[in-house]
Amino acid sequence: MGGGDHDHARTEGVGDETGRAFCPICQHQSEPDHLQGTRAMLNSVRIKWNQFLEVAKEQSPRQAVVKSIDSYLHLNRIVVPVYNDLLSMKQGAKADDTGSLEFLVIDAANAASVCGMNKTVSRRLKEAYNTGSGYYAYAVVSKGEIIGDIWCATPGNVRRDPIHPDLTWLGIECGEDDAYMFDLYVAPDSRGKVVTSYLLGNALRHLKESGYKRAYGFYDNNNLPALWIHRLFGYTELAKRKVSRVLLYKKSEVVASGS
């Protein structure tokens, strides 16, 4: 069974004096589904708005508009669901230039203390929302700044089924010994270096040492760096899926073989 230092022990929810469910991991009372959906939508809007402002400042307002539209409106995008068999995990390429890098696990217990290590408002908001939802992150720190991270959902930490909404449209079912990794991010000035390999290698190793047997994820079909890094670590590709999204509505279907 998955467990270990950062499995955040698989405790059942307890109740407060009113008898309402209370989550010992997230430290907040559980909400009805419709309130959870509303909270998720509002947090998503806040994060996307700050991302828009950051892209507009760093690149251009036009580029910010293009990226915002693309995130909420796309048709027939091809994604590749993948999994890593942690019991036979490849080590990946060894990198020498990692002396200045530090590996960090971020969860609800330490989120507040490391929040300032995220240099943008959108990343801080995402950290607060994700840790409050039971997810945790594997991060790379350099000179006191988080320069890359990847988020993780496990059945031991998330009391929902599925443990992440992506799993439904990816056609993935996570078992008790499985994890789902999502939202890999590396700071623009650290891309193309050893950071991604260092981050993913340590994240997979931590999951394996915590007792998990398989780690799921996905990447866009036209993302060649993602294809390279996943194959480097021995990921197995599942059936590709065609994904369309209009605002909050998303659907997917399996791509026929050979197409």
Taking only the tens place, the pLDDT of each residue in 169-219 is: 999 999 999 999 999 999 988 887 789 999 999 999 999 999 999 999 999
In a domain, 4, yes or no: no
Looking at per-residue pLDDT, the higher value among 61 and 181 belongs to: 181
In a domain, 2, yes or no: no
From the number of C-beta atoms within 10 Å of its C-beta (0-12, 13-18, 19+), residue 33 rates as exposed
Confidence of residue 49 (pLDDT cuts 50, 70, 90): confident
What sign has the CA pseudo-torsion 116, 204, 161, 171?
A: positive
As a whole number, mean pLDDT of residues 55-61 equals 86
Q: What pLDDT is recorded for position 92? A: 66
Q: Decide if pLDDT at 223 tops 80.
A: yes
In a domain, 128, yes or no: yes
In a domain, 38, yes or no: yes
What sign has the CA pseudo-torsion 238, 244, 247, 248?
A: negative
The boundaries of the domain holding residue 166 are 14-254
In a domain, 8, yes or no: no
Q: What pLDDT is recorded for position 27? A: 39
In a domain, 247, yes or no: yes
Q: Quick one: which of 231, 5, 208 has its CA closest to 87?
A: 208
Number of separate domains in the chain: 1
For 85-117, write each residue's pLDDT tens digit.
999 987 765 555 677 899 999 999 999 999 999
In a domain, 6, yes or no: no
Looking at per-residue pLDDT, the higher value among 186 and 48 belongs to: 186
Q: Report the CATH number that the domain containing residue 90 is assigned in CATH.
A: 3.40.630.30
In a domain, 55, yes or no: yes
Average pLDDT along the chain: 82
